[in-house]
């Protein structure tokens, strides 16, 4: 059940069609190789919202720089309530811009696109009969405010761009799973408020060069619900590529991820596995058709902006033409995920399967230097264009699978983890009284912290776990998360410790890896010797083990450890490397819970 949502009255002011502001005077400069500054962007949307009754600009929370995260909405019937819009059968598209402010095409393109709809350029206003547009004007505001002509120096414009990282020096497109930034938490609030059917994040990429200005990352169709994935692969993606080929001067190609870093595009490219820490990896966990445009840095900025405008139009028209199917399949998936039992936590590409992709590239040249050795990296010769079919590897198979429990139970000592879950529309309950429960526990057998820090974390990798079914004591106020929710995929992927993007992977549970109580051989040896003398069965077990294990026979400390592991006091080891989130595999029958939900947000 969804949380009730609230917002301050200032955001709900005036849905009246009587707008008194003057007609917008917006000057876009992308044709001059200039991208708008942050204040100019917000002013442009404010002018549109003040003049057009179909438009609304609201603040959705703070960012790390202290500035608010804005949401601009366009709704044809002046209804800005997502629940009401869904009842009317409208599809909602959410567009996110400026996550990396050095990649600003989407910032300028979204203003032009919005203004064209509101002015009904080429009859675009008809889109609003079935589609509602939501736009985050600039996501990484801290990075956008820090502009320089020296950022992204390999990029063909604009003259001034923002820096990649945010005010905390974090890459925001690596923060959607852990959500450590205010930006991410405000995004999550926005995303769940809208509950969009389609999501787009706009970016720029470098690397290989080719004839296309715009490329597309689509979330893996394998990750989506079966019917959604089938429609996504067989209908939506081919439809978008063909529309861009027919209706844009730029065409479009899948994002170029080559089989080998220094490889040849002619050998084939691979679909991109968008992990949950990426925006599309996160949004697709909520059954959202998710995309990321990646413009090529080598193309001139005005062309890059125009290609994004074209894609925004084609994505919106495709959603308009297929709104019933898009909505129906998402609604079905939202219900089915509540009952889904098996979840896939990781994926591996199947290189035995490929499709043919018509590609327009340039010959890659690796010249030899004076010593006769070839350079590791060459260049793409624009005087040698080519067009050919290449292999496109799109099939990913699950490589890590888990059966969900009936519920997870988390001791209240880990309330910070539960707070993260709450931000993601997860319904949480609490135990009404102290209870002893039989749960399935994980013990961390192995976890290797990465040598290189990522986002300020030495991420736990190659995690191995051991399952134990045992009775555990829980207390009044401990948290219970029942897995019957639309947020199930997020719940499972964050709470299963061996999942590559789990909270454990991001080090939030690292204290459990430290030693617990331990014994001292100086005061404990005589006690163990007494136990050995009194227990003939234990004495015989030790003698047999020593006969079979020469190392044990010759190492007094190893023998003490052998005895300790069989002593009653070894019970304290029950908590050594015990993962705190227990798995209740079925309803225990006598569990008494109380609600722990607080309303957070709405807009009328």
pLDDT tens-digit map of 418-458: 999 999 999 999 999 999 999 999 999 999 999 999 999 99
What are the residues whose beta carbons fall under 8 Å from the beta carbon of 181, sequence distance 6 or more? Answer: 63, 64, 166, 168, 170, 172, 175
pLDDT of res. 16? 41
Number of Cβ within a 10 Å radius of residue 560: 16
Q: For 570, how many CA atoms within 13 A lie in the half-sphere containing its CB?
A: 10
Q: Kind of pairing, strands 429-431 and 593-595?
A: antiparallel
Judge if 503 and 555 occupy the same domain: no
* Confidence at residue 523, expressed as pLDDT on a 0 to 100 scale: 62
Q: How do beta strands 289-296 and 198-205 pair? A: parallel
Q: Residue 25: inside a domain, yes or no?
A: no
User: What is the rounded CA–CA span in Å between residue 526 and residue 221?
Assistant: 63
Which CATH number belongs to the domain containing residue 80 in this structure?
A: 3.40.630.10
Looking at the structure, tell me whether residues 258 and 326 fall in a common domain.
Answer: yes
In a domain, 447, yes or no: yes
Question: How far is residue 357's CA from residue 215's CA, in Å, rounded to a whole number?
Answer: 13
Q: Single out the residue of 63, 261, 70 nearest to residue 175, CA to CA.
A: 63
Please classify residue 101 by burial: count the beta carbons closer than 10 Å to its beta carbon, then call 0-12 exposed, 13-18 middle and 19+ buried. buried
Rounded to an integer, the average pLDDT of 227-254 is: 98
For range 277-292, the mean pLDDT: 98
- Quick one: tokens of 443? 């013990």
| Residue 357, domain member (yes or no) | no
Pair (190, 330) in one structural domain: yes
Domain identity same for 569 and 502: no
List Cβ neighbours of 601 (8 Å cut-off, separation of 6 or more): 5, 6, 7, 189, 193
Q: Are 495 and 503 in contact (CB under 8 A)?
A: yes
Q: Confidence class of residue 597 from pLDDT cuts 50, 70 and 90?
A: low
Q: From residue 518, how far is each of 437, 529, 556 by CA, in Å?
A: 26, 18, 17
Mean pLDDT over 46-65 rounds to: 98
Together in a domain, 445 and 580? yes
* Residue 527 confidence (pLDDT): 73
**pLDDT band at 372; cut points 50, 70, 90:** low
Pairing of strands 460-474, 435-449: antiparallel
Asked if residue 527 and residue 458 are part of one domain, the reply reads no
Side-chain half-sphere CA neighbours of 517 within 13 A: 9
Q: What is the pLDDT of residue 589?
A: 84
Q: Does position 603 have pLDDT exceeding 50, yes or no?
A: no
Q: What is the three-class DSSP state of 224?
A: coil
Q: Alpha-carbon distance 489 to 287, whole Å? A: 9
* Containing structural domain, residue 304: 33-339
Answer whether residue 4 shows pLDDT above 50: no
Q: Which of 197, 345, 216, 321 is nearest to 269 (CA)?
A: 216
Give the per-residue pLDDT at 420: 97
- Indicate if 224 and 297 belong to the same structural domain: yes
User: In 3-state terms, what secondary structure has residue 162?
Assistant: strand
Question: Considering the chain, what percentage of its residues have pLDDT values greater than 70?
Answer: 91
Of 561, 581, 582, which Cα lies nearest the Cα of 573? 561
Residues sharing a CB contact under 8 Å with residue 529, sequence separation 6 or more, in sequence order: none
* Tally of domains within the chain: 3
Please spell the DSSP secondary structure of 470-483, one letter per residue: EEEEE-TT-EEEES
Only one residue has tokens 């990781």, namely 346
Dihedral sign computed on CA atoms, order 543, 544, 545, 546: positive
Domain assignment present for residue 487? The answer is: yes
- The span from the CA of 375 to the CA of 398, in Å, is 38
Residue 13: per-residue pLDDT: 36
Structure tokens at 378: 């060459």
Residue 345 pLDDT? 97
The tens digit of pLDDT for each residue in 18-31 reads: 566 789 999 999 99
- Where is average pLDDT lowest: 186-200, 230-244, 253-267? 253-267
Distance CA 38, CA 453 (A): 30
Establish if 15 belongs to a structural domain: no
**What is the Cα–Cα distance from 304 to 207, expressed in whole angstroms?**
16
Q: How far apart are CA 256 and CA 391, in angstroms?
A: 12
Q: pLDDT band at residue 369, thresholds of 50, 70 and 90?
A: low
Query: Measured between alpha carbons, how far is 101 from 587 in angstroms, rounded to an integer?
Result: 48
Phi, psi angles (nearest 5°) of residue 81: -95, 110
pLDDT number for residue 18: 54
Q: How far apart (Å, rounded) are the C-alpha atoms in residues 561 and 567?
A: 10
- pLDDT of 598 strictly over 70: no
pLDDT greater at residue 399 or residue 259: 399
Q: How confident is the model at residue 490 (pLDDT cuts 50, 70, 90)?
A: very high
Asked whether residue 529 is domain-assigned, the answer is: yes
Q: Are 465 and 430 in contact (CB under 8 A)?
A: no
Are 118 and 153 within one domain? yes
Please name the helix (run of DSSP H) or strand (run of DSSP E) that holds residue 388, with its range, or none.
Answer: strand 379-393
Q: What are phi and psi of 196, to 5 degrees?
A: -70, 155
Residue 11 confidence (pLDDT) above 60: no
pLDDT reported for residue 12: 42
State the Cα–Cα distance between residues 538 and 540, nearest whole angstrom: 5
Q: Locate tokens 């060069």: which residue?
A: 209
Taking only the tens place, the pLDDT of each residue in 122-177 is: 999 999 999 999 999 999 999 999 999 999 999 999 999 999 999 999 999 999 99
Same domain, 200 and 134: yes
Asked if residue 559 lies in contact with residue 529, where contact means CB atoms within 8 angstroms, the answer is no
Looking at the fold, whether 463 and 527 belong to one and the same domain comes out as no
Q: Are residues 411 and 539 in the same domain?
A: no
Instruction: Give the pLDDT confidence score for residue 373 in this predicted structure.
Output: 55
Whether 467 and 430 map to the same domain: the answer is: yes
Which of these ranges, 106-110, 321-325, 514-518, has the smallest mean pLDDT?
Answer: 514-518
Which residue, 31, 28, 34, 125, is CA-closest to 74? 125
**Rounded-to-integer distance, Cα 595 and Cα 429, Å:** 5
Confidence (pLDDT) at 366: 79
Q: For the chain, first and last CA: distance in Å? A: 20
Using pLDDT thresholds of 50, 70 and 90, give the confidence band for residue 560: confident
Cα–Cα nearest to 281, from 197, 191, 218, 216: 218
pLDDT in tens, 379-420: 899 999 999 999 999 999 999 999 999 999 999 999 999 999
Q: Which of 339, 370, 385 corresponds to the end of one domain?
A: 339
- Domain annotation covers residue 380: no
pLDDT on residue 518: 57
Q: What's the pLDDT band for 15 if we cut at 50, 70, 90?
A: very low
Domain end residue (candidates: 320, 339, 358): 339
Q: Give domain status of residue 201, yes or no.
A: yes
**Residue 600: per-residue pLDDT:** 43
For 111, the 3-state DSSP assignment is helix
Inter-residue contact 105 to 308 (CB < 8 Å): yes
Task: Report the distance separating Cα 350 and Cα 270, nearest Å.
Answer: 10
More confident of the two residues 602 and 377? 377
pLDDT in tens, 294-341: 999 999 999 999 999 999 999 999 999 999 999 999 999 999 999 999
Average pLDDT taken over every residue of the chain = 91
CB 295 within 8 A of CB 252: no
Residue identified by tokens 């003398």 is 533
Residue 9 pLDDT: 34
Higher pLDDT, 577 or 20: 577
Q: Which residue has the tokens 């079966």?
A: 226
């Amino acid at each position: 059940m969804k949380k009730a949502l609230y917002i301050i009255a200032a955001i709900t002011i005036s849905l009246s069609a009587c707008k008194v502001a003057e007609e917008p005077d917006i000057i876009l400069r992308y044709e001059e190789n200039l991208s708008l500054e942050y204040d100019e962007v917000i002013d442009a949307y404010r002018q549109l919202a003040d003049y057009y009754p179909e438009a609304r600009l609201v603040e959705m929370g703070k960012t790390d720089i202290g500035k608010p995260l804005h949401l601009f909405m366009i709704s044809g019937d002046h209804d800005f309530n997502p629940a009401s819009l869904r009842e009317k059968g409208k599809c909602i598209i959410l567009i996110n811009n400026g996550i990396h402010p050095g990649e600003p095409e989407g910032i300028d393109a979204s203003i032009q696109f919005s203004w064209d709809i509101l002015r009904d350029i080429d009859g675009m206003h008809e889109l609003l009969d079935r589609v509602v547009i939501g736009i985050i004007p600039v996501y990484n505001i801290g990075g956008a405010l820090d502009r320089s002509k020296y950022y992204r120096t390999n990029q063909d414009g604009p003259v001034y761009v923002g820096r990649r990282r945010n005010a905390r020096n974090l890459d925001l497109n690596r923060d959607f799973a852990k959500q450590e930034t205010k930006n991410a938490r405000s995004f999550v609030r926005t995303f769940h408020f809208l509950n969009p059917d389609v999501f787009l994040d706009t970016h720029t990429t470098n690397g290989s060069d080719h004839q296309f200005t715009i490329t597309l990352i689509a979330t893996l169709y394998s990750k989506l619900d079966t019917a959604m994935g089938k429609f996504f692969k067989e209908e939506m993606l081919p439809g978008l590529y063909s529309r861009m080929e027919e209706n844009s001067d730029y065409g479009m190609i899948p994002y170029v991820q080559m089989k080998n870093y220094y490889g040849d595009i002619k050998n084939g490219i691979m679909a991109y596995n968008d992990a949950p820490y990426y925006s599309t990896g996160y949004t697709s966990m909520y059954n959202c058709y998710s995309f990321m445009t990646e413009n090529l840095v080598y193309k001139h900025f005005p062309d890059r902006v125009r290609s994004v405008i074209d894609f925004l139009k084609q994505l919106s028209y495709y959603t308009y033409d297929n709104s019933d199917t898009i909505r129906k399949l998402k609604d079905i998936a939202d219900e089915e995920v509540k009952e889904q039992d098996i979840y896939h936590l990781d994926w591996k590409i199947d290189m035995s399967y490929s499709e043919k992709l018509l590609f327009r590239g340039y010959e890659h040249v690796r010249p030899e230097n004076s010593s006769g050795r070839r350079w590791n990296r060459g260049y793409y010769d624009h005087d040698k264009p080519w067009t050919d079919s290449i292999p496109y590897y799109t099939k990913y198979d699950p490589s890590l699978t888990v059966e969900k429990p009936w519920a997870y139970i988390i001791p209240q000592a880990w309330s910070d983890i539960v707070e993260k879950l709450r931000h993601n529309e997860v319904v949480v309950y609490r135990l009404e009284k102290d209870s002893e429960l039989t749960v399935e526990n994980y013990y961390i057998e192995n976890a290797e912290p990465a040598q290189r820090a990522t986002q300020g974390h030495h991420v736990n990798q190659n995690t191995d776990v051991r399952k134990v079914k045992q009775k555990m004591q829980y207390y009044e106020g401990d948290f219970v998360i029942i897995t019957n929710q639309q947020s199930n995929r997020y719940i499972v992927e964050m709470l299963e410790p061996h999942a590559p993007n789990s909270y454990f992977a991001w080090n939030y549970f690292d204290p459990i890896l430290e030693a617990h109580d331990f014994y001292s051989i100086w005061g404990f040896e005589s006690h163990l010797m007494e136990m050995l003398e009194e227990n003939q069965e234990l004495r015989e077990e030790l003698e047999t083990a020593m006969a079979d294990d020469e190392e044990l026979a010759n190492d007094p400390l190893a023998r003490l450890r052998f005895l300790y592991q069989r002593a009653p006091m070894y019970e304290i080891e029950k908590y050594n490397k015990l993962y705190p989130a227990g798995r209740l595999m079925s309803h225990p029958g006598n569990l008494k819970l109380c609600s722990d939900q607080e309303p957070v947000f709405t807009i009328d």
